[in-house]
Structures are given as C-alpha cells and as structure tokens.
Structure 1
Amino acid sequence: MRLKEDFFREEVRCDYLINSKMKRIWGKELEILDKFDEVCQKYGLRYFLAYGTLLGAVRHGGFIPWDNDIDVAMFRDEYEKFSEIAEKEFKDPFEFQKNFFNLAFGKIRIKGTTAVEVPYLDDKINQGLYIDIFPLDDVPKEENCNESYFQIEKELAILAQHPDIYIDQIRQGFEATLTSQIIVDLLRLSPKDRIKEYEDFCLKNVGSSKWCGYIHGVAFANKKPLKKEWFDTIIYLPFEGKEYPVPLDYDNVLKSLYGDYSKMIQGLSEHEKIIMDPDNSYDNYLVGGEFFDEKFWR
C-alpha cells in the first residue's frame, strides 16, 4: 500500500469533514486504480480520469471531499481491448465485471469490502468496492442528434439497458428508427446479448464523428458530447499523492460537463443509495447476512 498512515486520519477539506471510514474507502478505491493503471501501462492502453475524479484531480489534487467513488474512461476500441485481457490480469482480490447488472460499462471490484446497491441486496454476485470504467463512443454534436446513425446508437443503448423505458416511449408516441422486427428480435435476446449487439455496433463505427461521450450519459443524464481532439494529448496530474493521466484540454472537458467547475457545490454523491464498508465483505450485508438491515429493503 503506497498510502501513508496519516492519509487515513479524519480531516476537514473545504469545510467538509471526511471521517476515517471514508478515508479507508478511498484507500481501497485507490488500490484498485493503481492496479488498473499498472495493467493499462503493461498493455499500452490509454485511459484518463473522468467525471468527478477528473474534477477532483484538477480542483483538489485528489477526491472531491464529498465524493466516494473513482471514474475513468477509455475510447471504445481501447475499452474492448482492455476487456479481453482483464479477466486474466485481475486476480484475487480484484475482479473485473463487464456490464454489471446490464449497464454498458465496466467495474473493477476488490474483495473483502462492500459497495452494495440497495436494489440488489438479494444478488449474490461480487459487490465489493469498485472503480467505474466508461467506454467513450462516437456521438453527434448536439444540433445533429437526429442523424440516423446516432439515433440508432442511442436507441440501441436504451433498448439494451432499459428495454422497459424504450417500449414505454414507443407507447407514448416516440417514432423509433429501429424497425419493429429488429426491436422484437432484440427483445428476444438475453440482456447480455442485447448489450453485445450495442457494443458491436459502436465498435464498427469508431471514427465516424469528431465528438465522443459515454452514450448512456448522453441519452439519460444530459451529458454533453466532448470533442475528441481535447483528448489527443495526455498529461499527468496528482491525485492523492500519485500522478494519473488526464486530457491536456481538461478545461474544455470540465466546462462541457459542469459549466463553471471552479464553484464548489456541496451535494450528495450520485452513489448515496449504496451501502459502503471498507472493512467487511459485501455478503454480510446481503439478504440473510450478518449485517443485513430490513430498513434498506423497504
């Protein structure tokens, strides 16, 4: 472990108290990030800190004080190469999960810890602490969102991950670009196979746009597309005592994602509905486990 003992002490950053438990959570996530960085260097794969983790590196030199997770991103072709070698590279206590609960991105978990999402308290799969790995796909600039290819990409993403939402949109009058037969055929597939169809489509169309983004975020979270050229050159910034890759033009990336990112807005993490424990295994918190609490199950 590269972190010094005083890292794990309770402290106040930006008028926000970070307790020792959260520091231990951060420590486990950094352990995963360091392993991920090691593997990417071994295979010459490019990645960069993303979203709140990129913001934390630029503005704080580490975690945003009220954040509790780590995000990284890779272009689609690099992400698929990484996925192919991940299983053999991430051995105990690490585990790579692709398309966790049918969402089209990856996670690397560390055993002996807990990051249980409340809706999945009865799922026995590994739910240890993790980092998220987001694939960046070719997406349109906003004013061109109705172009046929990108509309198909967006619909495939929604249908693969949230078929109920997609069908509901059609019932409400949405005019689908996908034909009825294609929709029926995709719905007959398993969730895993639907995501594979979406990923194959994205991979075939790498290079079709000068813009990129995590398509699930573009489709659902109003995340703006990002210029690929902003990622052409990589630099390294410190994050909790070690340097990691970020895009040289991080200023434009962060402005596109957050606007005036110099303003610090204390808010709840998007991961508030996750039970996190750096010291005990997730199975203790699942239904029937030693620490299972009925209040989370309501």
Structure 2
Amino acid sequence: MNKVQENLFNLVLEIDDICTKYDVEYYLAGGTALGTVRNHRFLPWDDDVDLYITRDNWNKLRNVIETEDNVVPEGRTFVYNGNTKYYNNPIVRYTDNTTTAIYKSQALPGKACGQHIEFLIMDPMPTGEEEIQEYIKYLRIYTELMSPYFVVNKNLSLDEWKEHYKLYEKYCDRVDSEGEDKVLKELEDKLLYFSTEECVEFCMRWGIQILRYRKEHLGTPRLENFEGNLLPVAEQSECIFRIAYGDSWMYVPDYEEQIVHNAFQDIEIPFSEYTDLYLDKINRDSVFEKYKINKRSNARAFYNRRKIDSLIAKEKVFVQSQHITKNIEGKEDFLR
C-alpha cells in the first residue's frame, strides 16, 4: 500500500467498526472489491474506496449518525445531500478532515474535500420492464437536476441524449416555476417508492452509469481477505464484476484503462487550510446559482459537441484506414 491507500484502509476499518456496532450491512464495491476478490489487496493504481449500501441500510446508518452521540471518530464527517449545503450529490462520503482530496465539483461545499470513502446507495427497482425503463428515465432526470456542477448522463448515445434533454428541459422549466425542492421531492417519491422485499433488482443511485444488480447478487455479505483483514463483499461478487467490467474482469487492464481520479490530494494537510483560502472570499449562494446557469448551457450545447466529436472520430478512422490499405497493398504473401 502507498500512503494514500494506507489512509483509505484505516477509514475502511473505521467504517467497518461503526457498521458492525450498529448492525448495518455494507459491501466493498468497485475497484476495491475487485482488488479484494482478485488480489486480496488494493489495485496498485487505486486511489479511492467505494462501498455499496442498500437504501434500507443507509437509512439505518443515517438515523444512527443523526440521533446517537459519539458515532463518528474525531476528525471525521459523514457528508451527504441533506446535511451539507451545496453538496448536491446522491453519493454519501465519509471524510477524513485531516487530509485533502479536492475535486472541482466539491470545491464549493468545502466539507467533503478530505480523503474519503464513498457509499453508493442501491435502491430497489420496480419489476415490470416498462416500469423499469420509466424508473431509469426519471433517475437520470433526478441526478441531472440535482447536480449543477457537471453534465451527469454524458454516457448516453446521441439519440438517448436527445430524449433525455427534452425531458430535462421540461423539468428545468418546472423548477423555475414551482421551485427546485418541490420538483426533486416529487422525483424522489417516484424513485424511492419500491421496497426491498418486493424488488428483484437494485439500481445504483448515481446516474453517470446505470448499474443494475439482482437482489441475490448482493445477497448476504461474504467475508474476503483485504490487506490482511476480513471485510464484506457481495455474495455473488463475480456476477457484479461481470456486469460492471465485462467477462475480462479477471485480467489486469492496460495502463490507459487503469482508472485514477483527478483530485488535488495532500495526505499531510487538512483540507480546511486550502478551502479557508477561498470560501470566505466568495458569495457561495451567488456562485451556486451561476453553476446552475452554466450547467443548463452545457447541457444545451452537449448534443452538438458530441456530434462534432463523432464526426471528427469518423474522419480520423477514414484517414487511418486509407494509410493501412496503402501500406499493405502488394504485401499479401508477407501478411499471410
């Protein structure tokens, strides 16, 4: 483990202590779970830790955080939408306040800017296919409206984006006329209506990528060796890896496919020493409103930007194919 990973590992052990004490189930997720099952350690390039938690278990943990004393160790904070102004993110963060990891999209809240563990909430989905597609449609709108900092659903195809943007624009008009809180509450009522007992699948409350897992994939947490400690992963983790990473999940990816993050990191200095330099010099309410305006402009221009990128890529493919054809002409025997 490098220094960043050592600190993240200690945060995981703290989370495990809290969840064990209060009977809250969670699972190592993403690259953390992959490294645990495949190598029993961090992936060498890994610089973050993700956890899955079902909605029921998050509600239980949230209730403990908000009603019990001395749950969270000194120098740590749970940050989530609902307890932190300007933190418009469906992901919960357990933050180490004695370190720094600042992402552009979290610079304004200024409270989730340390090394952190991310809880990815898994919500029960409806069961019918039409209902599932309706659910996904509104989940995308919900996450798009919630975050003013960047375009969330940027992985959609161009045709999907056209439909998504049409509905997003309609909901933006409703936000302007009815208020953001009311519209988001209405969407939450649509999305958080389904129960764990009745569902067949869970869906990650994220938006950037729609990841759906069957209830039995998460199942009862199974313990795996992670850096010398037994920690929980999903019961059918291998099925989850296949959905998230494809059939090649057992193979170590090439360098350019190794996912690292673009945070400004400082393991030695509390993030407040950085955030204090700018937070008291700006009007955060005003900046937040300008973020929203900028987000709508970016969403409006997104289709044309993607279209141009696609045309450029197509031309590059054409030019390269001409080079390849020219270079192999007359060399059939050599190629054979």
TM-score by length of 2: 0.66
Per the alignment, do residues 154 and 145 of structure 1 end up closer, same or farther by CA in structure 2, a change over 3 Å counting? farther
- Give the counterpart of 1:44 among 23, 28, 44: 23
Q: Hey, what's the Cα distance between the residues in 2 that align with 1:159 and 1:183?
A: 11
1:206-231 superposed Cα distances (whole Å, 9 cap, x missing partner): 23531112132xx323x431111112
Cα 1:253–1:124 shift into 2, 3 Å: closer
- Closer, same or farther in 2 for the Cα pair 1:209/1:151, shift >3 Å? farther
Indicate which of 202, 225, 230 corresponds to 1:212.
202
1:32 aligns with 2:11: yes
Matched residue, 1:115: 101
Q: Which has the higher helix share?
A: 2
Tell me what 1:261 maps to. Answer: 249
Q: Which has the higher strand share?
A: 1
Q: 1:186 to 1:209 in 2, by over 3 A?
A: farther
SS of 2:192's equivalent in the other structure is helix
Aligned partners of 1:66 and 1:186: how far apart in 2? 47
Q: Is the 8 A contact 2:93 2:112 kept in 1?
A: no
Distance 1:194 1:245, change over 3 A: farther
**Is the Cα–Cα contact under 8 Å of residues 49 and 72 in structure 1 kept in the other structure?**
yes
SS in 2 for 1:220: coil
Segments of 5+ residues of structure 1 without an aligned counterpart are: 1-6, 8-22, 290-298
Q: Which amino acid aligns with 1:24?
A: K
Q: Does 1:240 align with 2:219?
A: no
Q: 1:77, 1:203 within 8 Å by CA — same for their partners in 2? A: no
* Partner SS for 2:272: helix
Q: 2:78 maps to which residue?
A: 96
Match of 1:249 among 221, 232, 236: 236
Asked if structure 2 preserves the Cα contact closer than 8 Å seen for 1:155 and 1:178, the reply is no
Q: SS of the residue aligned with 2:238?
A: helix
Q: Whole-Å Cα distance in 2 between the matches of residues 187 and 31 of structure 1?
A: 45
Q: Tell me, yes or no, if structure 1 residue 189 matches structure 2 residue 174.
A: no
Deviation at 1:258, TM superposition (A): 0.4
Residue 272 of structure 2 corresponds to 283
- The reply on whether 1:73 has 2:57 as its aligned counterpart is no
Aligned-residue offset at 1:188:
1.6
Corresponding letter in the other structure for 1:204: Y
Query: Is the CA contact (8 Å cut-off) linking 2:77 and 2:94 kept in structure 1?
Result: yes
Q: Is 1:131 equivalent to 2:117 in the alignment?
A: yes
Does the aligned pair in 1 maintain the 2:92–2:118 contact within 8 Å? Answer: yes
RMSD between aligned residues: 3.6
Runs of 5+ unmatched residues, structure 2: 153-157, 279-336
Residue type at the aligned position of 2:5: W
Higher relative contact order (CA 8 A, sep 6+): 1
Identity of aligned residues (%): 21
Q: 1:194 Cα deviation (Å)?
A: 6.4
CA 1:122–1:287 in 2, change beyond 3 Å: closer, same or farther? farther
Query: In the aligned structure 2, how far is the partner of 1:199 from the partner of 1:82?
Result: 19
With 237-246 and 93-102 compared, the bigger mean Cα shift is at 93-102
